[in-house]
C-alpha cells in the first residue's frame, strides 16, 4: 500500500492524474531559488524556454547570461562565475550538457570544486520523436563517475522544484536530470524532500516484501502501479524512490535489501553505469543481493511516442513485473542461478 506519511498525490492512480513535465518544476524552482539568494545566476545555451529558464530570465535579466549554442563555454563560464561567489545554474539538453561538455564539467567545475548546478533537460528515452541523438540515456553514468558531483533524478515536477531549491543551497557541483514530456504527478507539496535521502513510497500492508523495487525518475509511477497490481496477487513489493543517486542513501538501500532479499532497479537509462549499477556496486560490497535491471540494454534510441519507446526498450509495466517475477524465481531456484 501507498505509505500515507509520504503525503503523495491522492490522485496518483486516477485516470485523470495531473501530468506536468519535470523540467517545468525546475523552472519554477530556479525562480524561487533566485528570489531566495541574489547570488543565483542562470546561464543558457540557446534553449532558454525549452529548459524552462525563461522564467528566471524574465525576473532577473541582469543575472542571466545567454551563451549561444556553446555548451563547453557554458560549463566553464559558470565555473568562473562560481569562483566569484555565484551559484550558477546551467541548462541545455542533457545530451549536450553534460554530454558534449563532460571534460569541462570534470575539470573546471568538479576538479575546481565550484558549486555549479547542471540541469540536463530532455533526458531519457521518452524524449520521443526527436530521435536517438537527443535521447540522453548515458547522463547518469557520465555525472555520477565524477568525484564531488551530486546526482539527482527527480520523479516529478514537484520533486524537481524542491531539488532545484535545495541544490541552490549547497556548495556541491550538482547534476539535476530533467525530462521533456508530461509525466504524472506522484508527490505533493507536502511530501518531504532531502538531497541524499531515499524514500519508501509503497510497502506491504503487513510483513516483509518479497521484492524491493528501487526506481528513479518518472518511471516510479509505473513501479508503483506494478506494486499495486502484484499486491492483488499476494506478491509483496516495496517501492523506493531513489531521487538522489549520488551520494547514495546506503542505509536505506541496505535496509530494503535485507528485508526483501532481492532488488529490481528501474531507470530510463542504460543499465551500464546508471542507477542500477550504483545499487549493484553498493550491495555487492555490503550485502550481495540478487538484482534485476530494468533499463536500456546497450542500445541507442529512435523516434516514436514516449509510450512506444518505453515499451520497445523494455521499461514498461510488464517489464517491471517480469523483473519482479524473475527475482522470485531466482530465489526459488537458487542452484540454477548461483553457478
Partner 1 sequence: MSLTESKIHELEKKANDIRSDVIKMLIEAGSGHTAGPLGMADIFTYLYFFGLNHDPKNPAWEERDRVVLSNGHICPVLYATMAHAGYFPLSELKTLRKFGSHLQGHPHREWLPALETSSGPLGSGLSQAVGMALANRIDKGRTSKIQFYCLTGDGELDEGQNWEAIQLAGKEKIQNLTAIVDRNNIQIDGFTEDIMPLSPLKEKWQAFGWHVQEIDGHSFTDIDDAIGQAQAVFDKSSVIIAYTIPSKGIPDFERKFEWHGKPPTTPAEQKIALNSLRTLGGKIKSEHQ
CA distance linking residue 111 with residue 132, whole number of Å: 31
CA distances from 4 to 188, 203, 209, 211, 269 (A): 12, 10, 17, 20, 29
Q: Which range touches partner 1 (CB under 8 A), out of 77-85, 137-145, 184-192, 247-255?
A: 77-85
Based on the shown chain and the rule CB under 8 A, indicate whether residue 78 belongs to the binding site for partner 1: yes
Based on the shown chain and the rule CB under 8 A, indicate whether residue 76 belongs to the binding site for partner 1: yes
Please say if 71 is a catalytic residue: yes
The three-class DSSP label of residue 214 is strand
Shortest Å, Cβ 100 to partner 1:
11
Among 77, 165, 168, 195, interactor with partner 1 by CB under 8 A: 77
CA distance linking residue 92 with residue 69, whole number of Å: 9
Q: Which range touches partner 1 (CB under 8 A), out of 103-111, 133-141, 156-164, 284-292?
A: 103-111
Q: Total binding residues for partner 1 by CB under 8 A? A: 29
CB nearer to partner 1: pick between 23 and 106: 106
CA distance linking residue 161 with residue 139, whole number of Å: 20
Please give the full DSSP string across 299-312, using - where no structure is assigned.
----SS-HHHHHHH
Each residue of 266-286: b (16+ CB within 10 Å) or e? bbbbbbebbbbbbbbebbeee
Q: What angle do CA 224, 230, 233 make, to 5 degrees?
A: 160
Chain position carrying cell 518518472: 218
Shortest Å, Cβ 108 to partner 1:
5
CA distance linking residue 216 with residue 334, whole number of Å: 28
Based on the shown chain and the rule CB under 8 A, indicate whether residue 238 belongs to the binding site for partner 1: no
Q: Which range touches partner 1 (CB under 8 A), out of 74-82, 137-145, 152-160, 279-287?
A: 74-82
How far is Cα of residue 192 from the mean position of the Cα atoms in its chain?
Answer: 16
Q: Name the active-site residue from 28, 71, 159, 166.
A: 71
Shortest Å, Cβ 246 to partner 1:
19
Among 23, 24, 63, 117, interactor with partner 1 by CB under 8 A: 63
Binding to partner 1, residues 108-167 (CB under 8 A): 108, 111-113
CB nearer to partner 1: pick between 76 and 225: 76
CA distance linking residue 118 with residue 106, whole number of Å: 12
Omega of the bond leading into 247 within 30 degrees of 0 (cis): yes
Among 30, 40, 81, 296, interactor with partner 1 by CB under 8 A: 81
CB nearer to partner 1: pick between 108 and 153: 108
Q: What residue ranges bind partner 1 (CB under 8 A)?
A: 41, 62-63, 65, 67-68, 70, 72-73, 75-86, 88, 103-104, 107-108, 111-113
Please give the positions annotated as active site.
71
Amino acid at each position: 500500500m501507498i505509505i500515507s506519511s509520504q503525503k503523495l498525490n491522492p490522485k496518483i492512480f486516477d485516470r485523470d492524474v495531473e501530468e506536468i513535465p519535470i523540467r517545468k518544476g525546475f523552472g519554477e524552482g530556479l525562480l524561487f531559488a533566485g528570489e531566495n539568494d541574489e547570488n543565483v545566476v542562470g546561464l543558457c545555451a540557446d534553449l532558454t524556454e525549452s529548459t524552462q529558464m525563461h522564467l528566471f530570465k524574465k525576473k532577473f535579466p541582469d543575472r542571466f547570461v545567454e551563451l549561444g549554442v556553446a555548451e563547453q563555454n557554458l560549463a566553464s563560464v559558470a565555473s568562473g562565475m562560481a569562483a566569484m561567489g555565484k551559484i550558477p545554474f546551467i541548462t541545455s539538453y542533457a545530451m549536450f550538457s553534460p554530454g558534449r561538455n563532460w571534460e569541462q564539467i570534470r575539470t573546471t567545475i568538479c576538479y575546481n570544486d565550484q558549486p555549479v548546478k547542471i540541469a540536463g533537460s530532455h533526458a531519457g528515452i521518452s524524449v520521443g520523436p526527436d530521435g536517438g541523438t537527443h535521447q540522453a540515456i548515458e547522463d547518469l553514468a557520465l555525472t555520477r563517475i565524477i568525484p564531488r558531483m551530486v546526482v539527482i533524478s527527480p520523479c516529478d515536477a514537484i520533486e524537481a522544484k524542491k531539488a532545484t531549491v535545495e541544490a541552490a543551497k549547497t556548495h556541491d557541483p550538482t547534476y539535476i536530470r530533467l525530462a521533456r514530456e508530461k509525466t504524472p504527478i506522484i508527490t505533493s507539496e507536502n511530501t518531504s524532500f532531502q538531497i541524499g535521502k531515499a524514500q519508501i513510497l509503497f510497502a506491504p500492508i503487513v510483513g516483509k516484501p518479497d521484492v524491493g523495487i528501487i526506481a528513479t525518475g518518472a518511471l516510479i509511477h509505473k513501479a508503483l502501479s506494478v506494486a499495486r497490481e502484484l499486491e492483488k496477487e499476494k506478491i509483496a513489493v516495496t517501492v523506493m524512490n531513489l531521487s538522489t543517486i549520488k551520494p547514495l542513501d546506503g542505509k536505506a538501500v541496505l535496509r530494503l535489501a535485507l528485508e526483501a532479499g532481492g532488488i529490481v532497479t528501474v531507470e530510463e537509462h542504460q543499465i551500464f553505469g546508471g542507477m542500477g549499477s550504483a545499487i549493484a556496486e553498493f550491495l555487492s560490497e555490503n550485502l550481495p543481493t540478487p538484482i534485476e535491471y530494468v533499463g536500456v540494454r546497450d542500445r541507442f534510441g529512435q523516434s516514436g511516442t514516449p509510450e512506444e519507446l518505453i515499451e520497445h526498450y523494455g521499461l514498461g509495466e510488464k517489464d517491471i513485473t517480469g523483473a519482479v517475477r524473475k527475482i522470485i524465481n531466482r530465489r526459488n531456484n537458487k542452484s540454477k542461478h548461483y553457478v
